[in-house]
């Protein structure tokens, strides 16, 4: 049974809360639910979800490509997403990303061999006033420095 099929009762309940003809509005909440269940959105999730919602599969792929909240691969226990957009870059994001990668022995897009950390980069997270910043498992960590990155990495089990 596909994950979409497994979640179908929940999706049906969600669908009942939306006006008829707005099934494409369910793409985001359904993807969030799939990611919560699996940890990421697998390629095999896209077609069954598209069929369930009656939308083109490309519409789901576009959503997945646009929103950095959605992961297409399994990630480590700690998912580190460094912002690399303008404000963060101007305040040294690249240096911090390189530093974190050197400490972990991985490059952006990779996961440590023990599955502890995945390092990634994202575009602006809307916290430019506290640049440079990152998200760790969805939580903002702001005003980063080499020292605070070191401290944080030391705390992640």
- Give me the residues that bind ligand FES (CB under 6 A), please: 83, 85-88, 124-128, 131, 133
Task: DSSP letter for 111, please.
Answer: B
3-state secondary structure of 46: helix
Q: Are 106 and 117 in contact (CB under 8 A)?
A: yes
For 108, half-sphere exposure in the C-beta direction (CA atoms, 13 angstrom radius) is 15
Q: What are the residue ranges of helices labelled H in 39-80?
A: 43-53, 57-66
| Residue 121 falls in which region: left (phi positive, over 0), alpha (psi -120 to 50) or beta | beta
Q: How far is the CB of 22 from ligand FES (least distance, A)?
A: 31
The residue (of 4 and 144) whose beta carbon lies closer to ligand FES is: 144
Q: How far is the CB of 151 from ligand FES (least distance, A)?
A: 20
Please give the structure tokens belonging to residue 129.
Answer: 């006033």
The residue (of 15 and 84) whose beta carbon lies closer to ligand FES is: 84
Residues in the chain: 157
The residue (of 27 and 149) whose beta carbon lies closer to ligand FES is: 149
The residue (of 75 and 97) whose beta carbon lies closer to ligand FES is: 97
Please give the structure tokens belonging to residue 46.
Answer: 């896209």
The residue (of 57 and 86) whose beta carbon lies closer to ligand FES is: 86
Q: How far is the CB of 122 from ligand FES (least distance, A)?
A: 8
Q: How far is the CB of 36 from ligand FES (least distance, A)?
A: 25
Q: How far is the CB of 133 from ligand FES (least distance, A)?
A: 5
């Amino acid at each position: 049974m596909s994950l979409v099929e497994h979640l179908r009762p929940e999706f049906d309940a969600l669908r009942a809360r939306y006006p008829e003809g707005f099934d494409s509005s369910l793409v985001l909440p359904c993807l969030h639910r799939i990611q919560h269940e699996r940890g990421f959105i697998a390629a095999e999730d896209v077609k069954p979800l598209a069929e369930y919602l009656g939308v083109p599969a490309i519409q789901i792929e576009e959503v997945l490509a646009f929103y950095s909240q959605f992961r297409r691969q399994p990630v480590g226990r700690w998912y580190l997403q460094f912002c690399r957009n303008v404000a963060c870059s101007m305040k040294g994001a690249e240096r911090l990303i390189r530093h974190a990668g050197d400490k972990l022995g991985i490059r952006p897009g990779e996961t440590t061999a023990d599955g502890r950390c995945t390092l990634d980069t994202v575009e602006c997270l809307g916290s430019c006033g506290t640049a440079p910043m990152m998200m760790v498992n969805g939580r903002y960590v702001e005003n980063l420095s080499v020292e605070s990155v070191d401290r944080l990495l030391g705390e992640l089990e």
